[in-house]
Chain A
Amino acid sequence: TQLLEQSPQFLSIQEGENLTVYCNSSSVFSSLQWYRQEPGEGPVLLVTVVTGGEVKKLKRLTFQFGDARKDSSLHITAAQPGDTGLYLCAGFYDKVIFGPGTSLSVIP
């Protein structure tokens, strides 16, 4: 049983479109992290959200932590081919756990 669920599993969109991916859990987390993993590379941290309801922006990426601290979303505006990759959310339970990821492909 996955403590962290992510949706959608796969997403293929055209350059310039907007998209939202989700990270959900039945457990409360003190914080959630989002990582991006490019093919052939290790994951790289994008952001950490720690307060329920918190919204953080990183250029065209907007991250939100749910009020109950059980879910998070990542919204990308005007997606670009460089956004292609696997987006992983991670939370600390008794140790760090990762969700299964959303594989995003942005087609030029």
Chain B
Amino acid sequence: DAGVIQSPRHEVTEMGQEVTLRCKPISGHDYLFWYRQTMMRGLELLIYFNNNVPIDDSGMPEDRFSAKMPNASFSTLKIQPSEPRDSAVYFCASSFGGSDNTEAFFGQGTRLTVV
């Protein structure tokens, strides 16, 4: 298996533009997580899905952020409109099961820069 695949690896966009980040989880995994990592705040959980259904989106910073999982093999995280403070590395992770000792497999991340 190729692991969790994220695209693009790098994204530079202008403030106010819409940004869409994409993720393909590991086949067979039933949980999918979106994280954001910054120097100031570390690794923060934004939202997670179980069997394609959003379970907890309390980490989504504001209404400009939205995430979807239309099927078991694809998810998107959208920011509209983007702002410079959204600059961060965004990670997608997937796991089989969601218990407290389940291993999460991370993608390589998307480095977003909003100028």
B73 CB within 8 Å of chain A = no
Chain A interface size, under 10 / 10 to 19 / 20 to 34 / 35 or more? 20 to 34
CA gap between A42 and B4 in the complex, in Å: 10
A88 CB within 8 Å of chain B = yes
Kindly provide the distance from the CB of A80 to the nearest chain B CB, expressed in whole angstroms.
23
CA gap between A48 and B100 in the complex, in Å: 9
In the complex the two chains form, is B45's CB within 8 Å of A92's CB?
Answer: no
B109 CB within 8 Å of chain A = yes
A81-98 CB contacts (< 8 Å) to partner B:
88, 91-92, 95-98
The 3 closest A-B pairs by CB, nearest first: A42-B106, A92-B100, A98-B43
Which residues of B are in contact with A by a Cβ distance under 8 Å? 4, 33, 42-45, 48, 56, 91, 93, 99-101, 103-104, 106-109
> What would 8 A/B residue contacts be, using CB atoms closer than 8 Å?
A31-B101, A42-B93, A42-B107, A43-B104, A91-B100, A95-B56, A96-B33, A97-B45
